[in-house]
Amino acid sequence: MDLILWRHAEAQEHPEPLSGQQGDPLDLARRLTPRGEKHAVRMSAWLDRQLPTGTRILCSPAQRTEQTVQALGRKYKLRDELAPGADPLALLALAQWPHARAPVLVVGHQPTLGQVVAQLLGLAQADCAVKKGAVWWLHQRERQGSLQTVLLTVQTPELL
């Protein structure tokens, strides 16, 4: 199975810097900056060429993630389980990792995406930095009776 993790592109700062509790309506309403919009378009053009037919696309309900995925121009589903502060295990369950038949693209947030990457790659630390607008493409395969997670690519909008 392929799991593609896409962090939302650059967004406006929170109007109240000391806020940001899970479910914070001001946080959920933050929009992409003009630079973030350009990065979302650039990454979506690359993704559109790479994504297999039948890829399921799941997106956080935050405005910035929805704007990011809309640049792709494909059908997607908003899922509350992917909101800021989401549980990495809930993300994996929602994506049906590693048993889903079709690839899954998840558009979400840090630190959740970085926690998923760290867990699947068996990193010593519990978190991994995922740059705004970046895509991490992971693949699960079986080799000699053992399951392996392979990092296929990491792409950032600046390098496309």
Q: What is the pLDDT of residues 115-136, one digit of tens each?
A: 999 999 999 999 999 999 999 9
Query: Length of the chain, please?
Result: 160
CA separation for the pair 57, 80 (Å, rounded) = 14
Contact of 144 with 13, CB cutoff 8 Å: no
Q: In the chain, count of helices (H) and strands (E)?
A: 5, 6
Average pLDDT, the chain: 94
Task: Read off the pLDDT of each residue in 51-75 and give the average, rounded to a whole number.
Answer: 97
Tell me which of 20-34, 78-92, 103-117, 120-134 is least confident.
20-34
What is the pTM (predicted TM-score) of this model? 0.95
pLDDT band at 15 (very low <50, low <70, confident <90, very high): confident
**Can you give the pLDDT at residue 125?**
95
Measured CA distances, 45 to 48, 61, 68, 71 (Å): 5, 22, 12, 8
2-11+23-159 to CATH, choices 3.50.30.50, 3.50.50.60, 3.40.50.720, 3.40.50.1240 = 3.40.50.1240
Q: Is the pLDDT of residue 92 over 80?
A: yes
- Report the chain's C-alpha Rg in angstroms: 15
